């Protein structure tokens, strides 16, 4: 079975067979990568939250979570508690200039190390070498979702988070039928209404919505800079 974190598993399912994020879904996928990374940092104990809903680093980062380092560094560098809004602004601004692909690049590097990526030939003449999801690993993730959401296996918090991110990205159709997508959404709604996995759901929702609000509300001059970042990000 896949031993990847849910943010890495989400990225595996979000990209296509060429290792690219579908063009019209790039922003939602980016919101999901940010939200998943925030949730992983928090629930793995690398950051904590005070009574004012502000986050601070716990200085407990380890090499097993290198895919989260770009976001962790933003929080640690502040040296003071940060609201989600402040983290969103600081992180997205740090994506420009020298580091246009922070989280995505870190996740890709970790997937290569985990043998979850395979080399493919890309470009018009197929003369370039790129990386794409390992089909066997992708199928493992899909099988796990089926077993836990539709089968007898118990549902883990990690799988709940993975499916929540996948539905938010609007890319579940790449791997699931329309009937299965409807069933996944119904199950997510049932679990959310019951209060199950409420802390995970609330944090992911907050991070996702704050990312969306920030980018959609970016003034024109900042918006052009962010567009340049995204062009670089997905080249």
Instruction: Dig out the tokens for 9 from the structure.
Output: 């598993």
* In a domain? residue 162: yes
For residues 144 and 107, give the distance between their C-alpha atoms in angstroms, rounded to a whole number: 20
* In a domain? residue 94: yes
The mean pLDDT value of the chain amounts to 83
Task: Match 């199928």 to its residue by tokens.
Answer: 139
pLDDT of residue 232: 38
Give the pLDDT mean for 3-9: 90
* In a domain? residue 118: yes
* In a domain? residue 194: yes
DSSP letters, 142-173, are HHHHHHHHTSSSPPPHHHHHHHHHHHHHT-GG
b/e sequence 180-197, b meaning 16+ C-beta within 10 Å: bbeebeebbeebbeeeeb
The neighbouring-strand residues paired with 55 are 49, 82
Model confidence at 28: pLDDT above 80? yes
Provide the domain limits for residue 192. Answer: 6-233
pLDDT of residue 215: 76
Mean pLDDT lowest among 79-83, 184-188, 211-215, 226-230: 226-230
Instruction: Dig out the tokens for 86 from the structure.
Output: 């402040």
What confidence tier does 117 reach under pLDDT thresholds 50, 70, 90?
A: low
The domain spanning residue 51 has which CATH number?
A: 1.10.3630.10
Query: Is the distance from CB of 169 to CB of 32 less than 8 angstroms?
Result: yes
Instruction: Dig out the tokens for 82 from the structure.
Output: 């940060």
pLDDT of residue 25: 84
Model confidence at 17: pLDDT above 60? yes
Model confidence at 5: pLDDT above 50? yes
What confidence tier does 160 reach under pLDDT thresholds 50, 70, 90?
A: very high
Query: Is the distance from CB of 188 to CB of 163 less than 8 angstroms?
Result: yes
* Residue, of 76 and 123, whose pLDDT is higher: 76
Give the pLDDT mean for 198-222: 83
pLDDT of residue 159: 97
pLDDT of residue 130: 63
Instruction: Please give the tally of structural domains in the chain.
Output: 1
Collapsing DSSP to helix, strand or coil, 72 comes out as: helix
For residue 56, give the H/E element and its range. Answer: strand 55-57
Collapsing DSSP to helix, strand or coil, 226 comes out as: helix
Model confidence at 145: pLDDT above 80? yes
The neighbouring-strand residues paired with 128 are 122
* In a domain? residue 56: yes
* In a domain? residue 21: yes
* In a domain? residue 1: no
- The pTM of this model reads 0.84
**How far is the CA of 182 from the CAs of 13, 149, 200, in angstroms?**
18, 12, 21
Give the pLDDT mean for 130-140: 84
What confidence tier does 77 reach under pLDDT thresholds 50, 70, 90?
A: very high
């Amino acid at each position: 079975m896949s031993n990847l974190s849910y943010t890495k598993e989400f990225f595996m399912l979000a990209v296509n067979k060429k290792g690219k994020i579908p063009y019209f879904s790039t922003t939602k996928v980016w919101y999901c990568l940010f939200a998943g990374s925030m949730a992983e940092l928090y629930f793995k104990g690398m950051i904590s939250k005070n009574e004012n809903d502000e986050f601070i680093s716990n200085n407990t980062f380890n090499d097993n979570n290198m895919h989260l380092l770009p976001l962790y560094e933003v929080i640690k560098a502040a040296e003071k508690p940060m609201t989600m809004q402040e983290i969103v602004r600081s992180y997205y601004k740090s994506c420009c200039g020298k580091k246009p692909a922070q989280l995505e690049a870190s996740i890709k590097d970790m997937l290569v190390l985990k043998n979850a990526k395979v080399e493919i030939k890309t470009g018009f003449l197929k003369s370039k070498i790129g990386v794409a999801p390992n089909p066997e690993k992708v199928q493992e993730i899909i099988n796990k979702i089926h077993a836990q959401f539709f089968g007898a296996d118990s549902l883990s918090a990690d799988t709940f988070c993975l499916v929540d991110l996948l539905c938010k990205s609007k890319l579940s159709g790449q791997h699931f039928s329309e009937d299965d997508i409807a069933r996944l959404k119904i199950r997510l709604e049932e679990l959310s209404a019951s209060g199950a996995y409420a802390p995970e759901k609330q944090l992911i929702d907050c991070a996702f919505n704050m990312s969306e609000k920030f980018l959609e509300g970016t003034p024109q001059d900042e918006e052009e800079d962010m567009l340049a970042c995204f062009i670089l990000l997905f080249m």
